[in-house]
């Protein structure tokens, strides 16, 4: 009899999220693996890896036995409406590792969009935070015919008085289950998560990711970080302590729950991001790495009591969601010892990370000022992905750091399709590439720099004005904290640049100072041309942001007349928009 080779346990061994979950439990069972601080009460909750794994196992048992969730390909959808706490992290593993699909809902979307994602996904169960009870009550009548069961999550015991039902309480669910679970040997192509875009136009679009995709995404992201030749980069390995600020409802929390578990890094969960909470947790837990969007970083820079906290443990900070202006980076470096921000680019459709800030070994010898210029570029593609910047002809643009084209991507964790939307899928996938709709340029060293969304470029006469270029330049001024540019309507040129600026606390500069800075540091040094200078400047206290901390240009454009009425007209439009 010919011996059996068991390919399912060798050459066909499945790539599953279960592998990430089991590693820290086996090697470091008694080490603290998860820390959660309630942002309202300030109370801390600490779990060893063994305790955390037991809770995940109990939750897995409750999904099938109590809630009736069925696994499959794809399995039932289980939605979460939750912030960053240990229960949400437990759901991140219990749901997909049982063969069901996790659908983290962006709770900062409009109620109509939230209802759409729930009904479109056909969610069977919704887990939600106590603080979000009023929101769930408001949409209950619209989703009760889709959702069969609801689970209430709170640090306080008991269930609330509500019309929502049938309603279960999270801790009661866990208490009724055994502390171990027989995890199934799933096919690696089993769907694991379902994420929805934030829908800058139209309704949110759904994207499904398999275990295999998330496994390869995680490993290649970790590999890309370890290859970085940046002399300022600190590789902490298993000793890293990571604070997960990126909402877990936003594109897998940028992959942190997967990378941290696999590397056995202690995960620190702040609930919701606050500047005070970030500083306290960094000091108390000796946080070494974290992820922030530029607006969070700006909030830290302007925090008046920043100096009273010991943030010296902080070594690496990933910046995503928007481009990192060199000026904001410089301000943060002066205020936070050892601060070494890492830029990156991604989107819902790519799980999200595709391009990261990276110093090539051939450039590591350059002086700091030159390295800083490279560090704020979007970066180089992660290993395992193909990324090109192409013109309208579909051919790659010249590597001259000037010619603008669209970023196209393909690779093992790029989405296959938009759920139930073949038309949008066909529009995105053309000629064997996923078309992102993001515009960029490429330099001689192959570094990619994001210029703008295709839909956000200012069209002035026959020229295209890249907003990100102007935003980054403006934010380098010492007295400017944030800057956003949009197009203001013009009867002759179609659109002209309009700058909306937030100053650093205590700054007394005005609109003329902003223009003088742009002329001196931009026009005179050849970074921009004179016709790119804004016709309007508005100094404001707050700039509208999206649910993920990006500048909300959609809202700005809707309220454009209101903002223009408060702005200062700086000069008449240029006589010509032709480059000289």
Give the pLDDT score at 576. Answer: 45
| DSSP 8-state symbol, 502 | E
Considering the domain boundaries, does residue 155 fall inside one?
yes
Domain that holds residue 193: 22-442
Give the pLDDT score at 520. Answer: 93
| DSSP 8-state symbol, 130 | G
Taking a C-beta distance cutoff of 8 angstroms, is the pair 440, 378 a contact? yes
Considering the domain boundaries, does residue 346 fall inside one?
yes
Same domain, 220 and 132: yes
| DSSP 8-state symbol, 2 | P
- Express each pLDDT in 341-397 by its tens digit: 788 889 999 999 999 999 999 999 999 889 988 988 899 999 999 999 999 899 999
Give the pLDDT score at 580. Answer: 30
Cα distance between residue 532 and residue 518, in whole Å: 10
Same domain, 248 and 373: yes
Give the pLDDT score at 286. Answer: 97
Burial (Cβ within 10 Å: 0-12, 13-18, ≥19) of residue 275: middle
Give the pLDDT score at 201. Answer: 60
- What's 555's domain CATH number? 3.30.300.30
Domain end: 416, 442, 468, which one?
442
Q: Mean pLDDT lowest for which of 22-31, 74-83, 283-292, 334-343?
A: 334-343
Per-residue burial over 295-328, b if 16 or more Cβ lie within 10 Å, else e, is: bbbbbbbbbeebeebebeebbbbbbbbbbbbbbb
Cα distance between residue 547 and residue 146, in whole Å: 25
Same domain, 399 and 474: no
Give the pLDDT score at 463. Answer: 65
- Express each pLDDT in 303-329 by its tens digit: 989 999 999 999 888 887 766 777 787
Same domain, 351 and 390: yes
Considering the domain boundaries, does residue 1 fall inside one?
no
| DSSP 8-state symbol, 557 | H
Instruction: Give the mean model confidence (pLDDT) for residues 211-234.
Output: 93
Considering the domain boundaries, does residue 92 fall inside one?
yes
- Express each pLDDT in 258-285 by its tens digit: 999 999 999 999 999 999 999 999 999 9
Same domain, 425 and 488: no
Same domain, 433 and 463: no
Q: Which long-range contacts (CB under 8 A, 24 or more apart) does 154-158 make?
A: 154/129, 154/130, 155/38, 155/41, 155/43, 155/45, 155/130, 156/130
Cα distance between residue 63 and residue 363, in whole Å: 51
Domain end: 442, 470, 491, which one?
442
Same domain, 421 and 485: no
Q: How many Cβ atoms are within 10 Å of 462's Cβ, its own excluded?
A: 10
Q: How many separate domains does the chain show? A: 2
Say which residues have a Cβ less than 8 Å from residue 122's Cβ, sequence separation at least 6.
77, 146
**Max Cα–Cα distance, the chain, nearest Å:** 89
- The whole-model pTM stands at 0.84
Same domain, 390 and 485: no
**pLDDT of residue 254 exceeding 80:** yes
Residue 545 pLDDT class (50, 70, 90 cuts): confident
Instruction: Give the mean model confidence (pLDDT) for residues 504-526.
Output: 91
Say which residues have a Cβ less than 8 Å from residue 419's Cβ, sequence separation at least 6.
120, 121, 194, 205, 206, 207, 208
Taking a C-beta distance cutoff of 8 angstroms, is the pair 211, 192 a contact? yes
Considering the domain boundaries, does residue 148 fall inside one?
yes
Cα distance between residue 411 and residue 424, in whole Å: 19
Considering the domain boundaries, does residue 213 fall inside one?
yes
**pLDDT of residue 578 exceeding 50:** no
Say which residues have a Cβ less than 8 Å from residue 144's Cβ, sequence separation at least 6.
none
Domain end: 385, 412, 442, which one?
442
Cα distance between residue 396 and residue 394, in whole Å: 7
Same domain, 37 and 127: yes
- What's 190's domain CATH number? 3.40.50.12780
**pLDDT of residue 574 exceeding 60:** no
Same domain, 83 and 218: yes
Q: Mean pLDDT lowest for which of 41-45, 334-338, 395-399, 557-561?
A: 334-338
Considering the domain boundaries, does residue 3 fall inside one?
no
Same domain, 373 and 412: yes
Give the pLDDT score at 451. Answer: 82
Instruction: Give the mean model confidence (pLDDT) for residues 455-483.
Output: 81
Residue 573 pLDDT class (50, 70, 90 cuts): low
Q: Mean pLDDT lowest for which of 129-138, 142-151, 234-243, 412-421?
A: 234-243
Considering the domain boundaries, does residue 145 fall inside one?
yes
- Express each pLDDT in 324-350 by its tens digit: 777 787 888 888 877 777 888 899 999
Same domain, 500 and 360: no
**pLDDT of residue 199 exceeding 70:** no
**pLDDT of residue 103 exceeding 90:** yes
Instruction: Give the mean model confidence (pLDDT) for residues 196-207.
Output: 82
Supply φ then ψ for residue 382, to 5 degrees.
Answer: -60, 150
Supply φ then ψ for residue 327, to 5 degrees.
Answer: -65, -45
**pLDDT of residue 494 exceeding 90:** no
């Amino acid at each position: 009899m010919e011996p059996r080779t068991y390919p399912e346990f060798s050459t066909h061994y499945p790539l599953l999220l279960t592998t990430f979950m089991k590693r820290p439990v086996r090697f470091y069972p008694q080490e603290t693996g998860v820390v959660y601080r309630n942002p309202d009460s300030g109370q801390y909750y600490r779990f060893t890896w063994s305790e955390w794994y037991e809770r995940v196992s109990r939750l897995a048992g409750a999904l099938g036995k109590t809630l009736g969730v069925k696994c499959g390909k794809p399995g039932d959808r289980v939605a979460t409406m939750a912030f960053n706490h240990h229960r949400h992290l437990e759901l991140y593993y219990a749901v997909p590792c049982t063969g069901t699909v996790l659908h983290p809902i962006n709770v900062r979307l409009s109620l109509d969009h939230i209802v759409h994602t729930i009904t479109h996904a056909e969610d069977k169960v919704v887990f939600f935070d106590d603080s979000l009870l009023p929101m769930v009550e408001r949409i209950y009548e619209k989703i009760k015919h889709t959702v069969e069961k609801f689970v209430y999550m709170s640090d306080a015991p008991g269930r609330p008085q509500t019309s929502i039902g049938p309603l279960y309480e999270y801790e009661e669910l866990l208490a009724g289950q055994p502390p171990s679970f027989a995890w199934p040997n799933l096919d690696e192509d089993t769907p694991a998560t379902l994420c929805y875009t934030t829908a800058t136009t139209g309704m949110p679009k759904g994207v499904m990711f398999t275990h295999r995709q998330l496994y390869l995404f995680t490993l290649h992201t970790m590999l890309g970080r370890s290859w970085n030749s940046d002399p300022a980069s600190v590789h902490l390995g298993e000793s890293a302590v990571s604070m997960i600020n990126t909402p877990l409802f936003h594109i897998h929390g940028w992959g942190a729950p997967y990378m941290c578990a696999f590397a056995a890094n202690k995960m620190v969960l702040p609930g919701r991001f606050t500047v005070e909470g970030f500083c306290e947790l960094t000091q108390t837990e000796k946080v070494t790495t974290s992820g922030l969007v530029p607006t969070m970083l700006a909030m830290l820079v302007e925090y008046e009591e920043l100096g009273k906290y010991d943030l010296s443990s902080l070594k690496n900070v990933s910046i995503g969601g928007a481009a990192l202006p060199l000026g904001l980076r410089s301000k943060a470096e002066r205020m936070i010892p050892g601060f070494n921000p890492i830029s990156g680019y991604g989107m819902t459709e790519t799980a999200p990370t595709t391009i990261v800030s990276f110093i090539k070994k051939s450039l590591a010898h350059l002086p700091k000022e030159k390295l800083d210029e490279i560090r704020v570029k979007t970066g180089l593609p992660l290993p395992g992905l193909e990324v090109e910047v192409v013109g309208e002809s579909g051919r790659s643009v010249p590597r001259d750091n000037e010619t603008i084209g669209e970023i196209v991507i393909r690779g093992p964790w790029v989405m296959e399709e938009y759920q139930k939307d073949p038309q949008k899928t066909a529009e995105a996938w053309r000629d064997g590439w996923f078309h992102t709709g993001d515009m960029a340029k490429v330099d001689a060293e192959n570094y990619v720099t994001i210029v703008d969304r295709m839909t956000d470029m200012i069209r002035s006469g026959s020229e295209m004005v890249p907003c990100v270029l102007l935003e980054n330049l403006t934010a380098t001024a010492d007295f400017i904290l944030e800057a956003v540019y949009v197009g203001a309507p013009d009867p002759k040129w179609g659109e002209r640049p309009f700058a909306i600026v937030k100053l650093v606390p205590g700054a007394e500069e005005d609109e003329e100072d902003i223009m003088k800075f742009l002329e001196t540091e931009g026009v005179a040094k050849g970074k921009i041309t004179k016709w790119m200078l804004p016709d309007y400047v508005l100094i404001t206290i707050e700039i509208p942001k999206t649910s993920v901390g990006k500048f909300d240009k959609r809202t700005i454009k809707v309220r454009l007349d209101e903002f223009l009425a408060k702005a200062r007209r700086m000069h008449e439009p240029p006589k010509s928009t032709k480059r000289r």
